[in-house]
Structure 1
Amino acid sequence: MARNQLPNYWVLLADGHHARLLEGGRPFDSLTGVDGGVIEPSDGAHAYAHDIMSDRPGRSFNSADSRRSAMEPQTDPQRLEKTRFAQKLAAILDAGATAQRFERLIIAAPAPVLGDLRHSLGPAARDKVVAEIDKDLVKTPSTDLGRHLLNAIGF
């Protein structure tokens, strides 16, 4: 980075189903989409739990008598889809960090998504994170994003 040049930021705006990846510099008034800017979720991200699961739940016998009950799945299928989406986002960020496409990273997402991203990010991208915003800004207009981002990095 040249002495008077501002660092290049990537800004990830995500929720469990949608994501926008933007790039630019401070004061964040002219952010542009990275490779189109919109990251699509997997096919199951908007489905109901019964649509995601392939079969009816299994059945088991009660220990006290001979009645049978449906077994609950080990994990929530919708939560699993959101975790997979966060892993997909983390892979994109890791690839960009490894290729040195950005110098600093800001992530804005609700707490569960932030947690999934923290767990999934590789060291290259994790080292570039300068701010995390516990807020869903995916549908925030670009003209309003600058204020949120500047507050997050302390300007």
Structure 2
Amino acid sequence: MTGVLVSDQTSARLFTINLPKAPFEELARLANPEGRLHERDIESDRPGRAFDSMGRGRHAMGTRHPATEQQEIRFAQEIATLLADHHRRDSFQRLVLCAPPKLLGLIREALPKRVAECLLLELDKDLAHLSDTDLRAHLTEHLPTIIQPQSSLSA
């Protein structure tokens, strides 16, 4: 069985497919409405201030990542947790990831090793807006690779 994750910054859908002509079966869906927000909508005010450890200087406290990037990292971790849970339940043995390039990289970084090892294909495209039918049509050229039995992968 092959899992297909389709995601963007605002949503993620996990499907399974096991036959070339079979429809995708949706296993899970995640929503991330914060993914639509802009930096100014997330940050309520300017960063706090701190004293220097030496001297009288004060400076603004910095953040390691902007709020929108922190939100993307959190959502990628949530997606990775979802994938790990379904992999543990044996919902899929192979995995295809479809997401915009930046989010795809964040998901890849967040994946546990046992899930990352079953990655079959990565598509750095935003396909989340597509209907199930359009998604299937878009992935048609990759279906032979996606569907092939586990035994032929190792050959």
Q: What RMSD, in angstroms, separates the aligned Cα atoms of the two structures?
A: 2.6
1:85-134 deviations in whole A, cap 9, x for unaligned? 01000011011112211121111001101100110101221121110011
Letter in 1 for 2:37: A
Q: Report the residue type matching 2:30 in the other structure.
A: I
Per-residue deviation at 1:72?
A: 5.9
- Supply the distance in 2 between the matched residues of 1:146 and 1:14 (Cα, whole angstroms): 15
SS for the counterpart of 1:11 is strand
Aligned to 1:93: 83
Q: What count of residue pairs does the alignment treat as equivalent?
A: 139
Q: Distance in 2 between matches of 1:91 and 1:28?
A: 29
Amino acid at match of 1:148: H
In the other structure, the counterpart of 1:22 is: 15
Seen in structure 2, the aligned counterparts of structure 1 residues 28 and 133 have a Cα distance that, compared at 3 Å, is: farther
- Structure 1 unpaired stretches of 5+: 1-7, 61-67
Amino-acid identity (%): 31
Picking from 6, 29, 38, the partner of 1:13 is: 6
Query: How much has 1:145 moved relative to structure 2?
Result: 2.0
Instruction: Return the letter of the residue paired with 1:24.
Output: I
CA displacement at 1:73 relative to structure 2: 4.0
Offset of residue 39 of structure 1: 0.8
Q: Does structure 1 residue 39 correspond to structure 2 residue 33?
A: no
Q: Is the 8 A contact 2:101 2:125 kept in 1?
A: yes
Question: Is the aligned partner of 1:130 residue 2:123?
Answer: no
- Greater percentage in helix: 2
SS at match of 1:96: helix
TM-score, normalised via structure 2 length: 0.76
Q: What TM-score do the two structures reach when normalised by structure 1?
A: 0.76
Which runs of structure 1 show a deviation greater than 3 angstroms over 4 or more consecutive aligned residues? 68-74, 152-155
**Contact in 2 for aligned 1:108/1:137 (Cα 8 Å):** yes
Could you tell me how far 1:57 is from its partner in structure 2? 2.3
